[in-house]
Structure 1
Amino acid sequence: MPDVAQPTIAEVRNAAEAVKAAIDRHLAAVEARTGENDPGVAAAYEALARAADDYDEVLYDAYDEVTPFEVPHETGVGHYADPDDPEAISVLIRRDYLIADPLRLRAAALRIDGSTAVDPAPVAASSVTAALGALFGEYEPDEIAGRAEQFGLEEGDSTLWVTAADPAEPGDWLGEPFDDADPELLICRFDVSEVYDDELEVLDPEH
């Protein structure tokens, strides 16, 4: 079986120049970043990592030498969610409701709580907010959406985002669950609103 052709001197030099250019682009992105998870920095980081890997490979193949740099590939510091090749996703849902009938809402909460009309202090229906707590504590959001009128609610606009995410350990993001709603990580989204002719419209995140 013939030996695999070794990289030429020109190929090694081109790979080295690609690393230099990637370093310049990464520095420029860092200097111009707009926040902690700036997508420009993320893209420049990934490009620099690929260029460094490529150079290390051709350098070893041509000269049996390696660089002193190690590019981390595992999830951790320096890893960024990539919407083109995600390791994990987050599904973010927002549904708006108008409280059209507070009495009906509180009556639904009474049924959940098991309280009676003579109960002197029915906790679940003591206020609209308490009734909402009882309602969303008992039913899944999809069921509430399907029975909104029955619960005294009127559906408004809604949206569902599927975004790229870094794999997370249980409990990691619960303290700030909506901080990662980054449009740059959007894979697809589904909007429902009366302003659209169709009930469901899929929007391309590129537009």
Structure 2
Amino acid sequence: MSDAAQPTAAEVRAAAEAVKTALDRHLAAVERRSGEDDPAVSEAFNQLAAAAEAYDELLYDRYDEVTPFEIPSADEALPPYAGPEPNAISVLIRRDYTVAEPQRLLAQAQRVEAAEYDAVDEDDAAGTVPGALGVLFGEFEPDEIASRHKEFGLEEGDSTLWVTAAEEPPEAGEWLEAPFEHIDPQQVVCRFDVSAVFDDEVSDDEDDIDFVDEDEEEEEEDGDGELEPINAEK
């Protein structure tokens, strides 16, 4: 952004004041709310979110600084499933891995080929990382690879599982050319995510706790990720 296009200090200050005003309005709406779905609270929330986002943008443009606010985006959130009982479902799974130890990956693929063909050709598919991945994912179920990923030289990243509803099962081969396109968010019955960010959130919460008894043992959270349900049919 050029200097001419930068917001002025007065504009940033005005945006900060707007956040303060929106905070007061939101608190007042919460204190007066008539129920869980009070529209006044929702309106005040949206106004606060908009004010915070505007301030954050101006603050960054003017001073190259950011706020600690994180406003959830309505565009990114999946709506709750509100359709009829499904006659068929599709399960979509994505799992990310890093090839942390290529040599271990190659060795495992070569063992599989040796067991299958009684010999390993140096020019065969198992001699390259793409080829080794093809051998291993062709031999083992994805769930087995997920549970044994370290044996295959892989490091887990994020993963997600979506269950989507359908009126009727598709015809054989109907979607094979583009299996992950045209997913309707309204048809997602439930979704489960696994990510290291959930562990970070747990660690942050633990850091905020003051332990009175210093000799008391502190339990450790498992660092392999947590299963987070996002949307589920009620």
TM-score range, shorter chain: 0.5 to 0.7
Give the deviation of 1:205 after TM superposition: 6.4
Q: Are 2:113 and 2:120, in contact at CA under 8 Å, matched by a contact in 1?
A: no
Alignment counterpart, residue 173 of structure 2, candidates 163, 171, 174:
171
Mark the structure with the bigger radius of gyration: 1
Whole-angstrom CA distance in 2 between matches of 1:181 and 1:132: 27
> One-letter code of the match for 2:178?
E
Q: Please state whether the residue corresponding to 1:161 is helix, strand or coil.
A: strand
Q: Check whether the contact 1:109–1:132 (CA below 8 A) recurs between aligned residues.
A: yes
Question: What is the rounded CA distance, in whole Å, between the counterparts of 1:205 and 1:184 in structure 2?
Answer: 12
Once the two structures are TM-superposed, the CA of residue 181 in structure 1 deviates from its matched residue by 2.5
Q: Match of 1:84, SS?
A: coil
Residues 1:204 and 2:206 aligned together: no
Of 185, 188, 195, the residue aligned with 1:186 is 188
Alignment of 1:1-207 (within 5 A): 83-114=83-114, 119-165=120-166, 166-196=168-198, 197=202, 199-204=226-231
Aligned length in residues: 125
Q: 1:187 offset after TM fit, Å?
A: 0.4
Secondary structure of 2:108's partner?
helix
- Supply the RMSD in Å over aligned alpha carbons: 2.5
Q: Secondary structure at the match of 1:195?
A: helix
% of aligned pairs identical? 56
CA distance in 2, matches of 1:119, 1:202: 44
The alignment's TM-score, normalised by the length of structure 1, stands at 0.55
The answer as to whether partners of 1:83 and 1:186 remain within 8 angstroms in 2 is no
User: Is residue 83–residue 163 contact of structure 1 (8 Å, CA) maintained in 2?
Assistant: no
**Aligned equivalents of 2:120, 2:162: Cα separation in 1:** 43
Q: Which runs of 4+ in 1 moved over 6 A?
A: none
Consecutive unaligned residues in structure 2, runs of 5 or more = 1-81, 203-224
Distance in structure 1 (CA, Å) of the matches to 2:175 and 2:94:
18
Instruction: Give the SS at the match of 2:190.
Output: strand
CA offset at residue 168 of structure 1?
1.0
User: Normalising by structure 2, what TM-score?
Assistant: 0.49
Aligned counterparts of 2:121 and 2:136: Cα–Cα separation in 1: 20
- CA-CA distance at 1:119 after TM superposition: 4.7
Post-superposition CA distance 1:71-106 (Å, at most 9, x none):
xxxxxxxxxxx8432221100000000100000000
SS of aligned partner of 2:197: coil
